[in-house]
Amino acid sequence: MSASWNFARRPFRDERPVFAVVALAAFLGLGLFAANVRLYFSFSRRVEGVRGEIANLERRRDAASQAAESARQAVAGYRVSSLADEATALQTIVRERRFSWLALLGRLEKTLPSDVRLSRLSPRFGPTAGVVLDLAVLGRNQDSVVRALAALSKDPAFRDVELRSESTQEKGVPEGHAFSLGVTYFPEEKR
């Protein structure tokens, strides 16, 4: 059946309401499409802002992580170095407590010649195994200096023997020939 443009004939078909509904639906569809497009662009702008904030927060997080890691390493390095210093100090104290004055004085009495007297003795404990001794010694003459140096050099308990200064009777020493020595002493258990 073909459509006829004669609206006076029966059956009377009025398609205007259908067209009106279709036009209204199309208008509403276009309105909703425009609203969706507007929402999409608004959402896209907000997402870009959020993405920028997220990227900024991630950069700040990475910088904070690196700063925290470097701080941890610095603290760990400080702890290690301070612990090493404390351990060295404690080892020095232990070495001072274990040091035998009787053994040292007996060794010096056995080693030094009979014409030499010890007037001052001061030990210095360091990080090495030996004990550095500063000796002030009085001898009868200049030959006593040579004999004392030779005797200390021959003894395996004494190393790095060094003559630091000497004074004679002309320089104000009434007892004889005064001289000071530096020597490193290694106790028996360390050799």
Same domain for 41 and 94, yes or no, is: yes
Same domain for 92 and 21, yes or no, is: yes
Per-residue pLDDT, 40: 93
Inter-residue contact 186 to 164 (CB < 8 Å): no
Same domain for 87 and 54, yes or no, is: yes
Same domain for 141 and 59, yes or no, is: no
Domain, as residue range, for 155: 100-190
In the chain, DSSP finds a helix count (H) and a strand count (E) of 3, 4
Using the 3D structure, point to which of 74, 98, 122 is the last residue of a domain.
98
Cis-peptide into 156, omega within 30 deg: no
Same domain for 43 and 118, yes or no, is: no
C-alpha span between 189 and 88 (Å, rounded): 20
Per-residue pLDDT, 186: 84
Per-residue pLDDT, 170: 63
Residue 180 belongs to domain with CATH number: 3.30.70.2830
Is residue 6 assigned to a domain? Answer: no
- Other C-beta atoms lying within 10 Å of the C-beta of residue 152: 23
Using the 3D structure, point to which of 76, 98, 120 is the last residue of a domain.
98
Same domain for 108 and 184, yes or no, is: yes
Q: Which tokens go with 106?
A: 């007996």
Is residue 4 assigned to a domain? Answer: no
Per DSSP, the three-state class of 62 is helix
Q: Pseudo-torsion of CA 145, 148, 152, 153, nearest 10°?
A: 50
Same domain for 94 and 132, yes or no, is: no
Same domain for 49 and 123, yes or no, is: no
How many structural domains does the chain have?
Answer: 2
Q: How many CA atoms lie within 13 A of 99 on its CB side?
A: 22
Using the 3D structure, point to which of 98, 125, 158 is the last residue of a domain.
98
Q: What is the pLDDT of residues 28-45, one digit of tens each?
A: 999 999 999 999 999 988
Please identify every stretch of the chain with a pLDDT value under 50, giving residue numbers as ranges. 190-191
Per-residue pLDDT, 16: 85
Same domain for 94 and 104, yes or no, is: no
Is residue 131 assigned to a domain? Answer: yes
Same domain for 105 and 182, yes or no, is: yes
Same domain for 144 and 76, yes or no, is: no
Same domain for 106 and 182, yes or no, is: yes
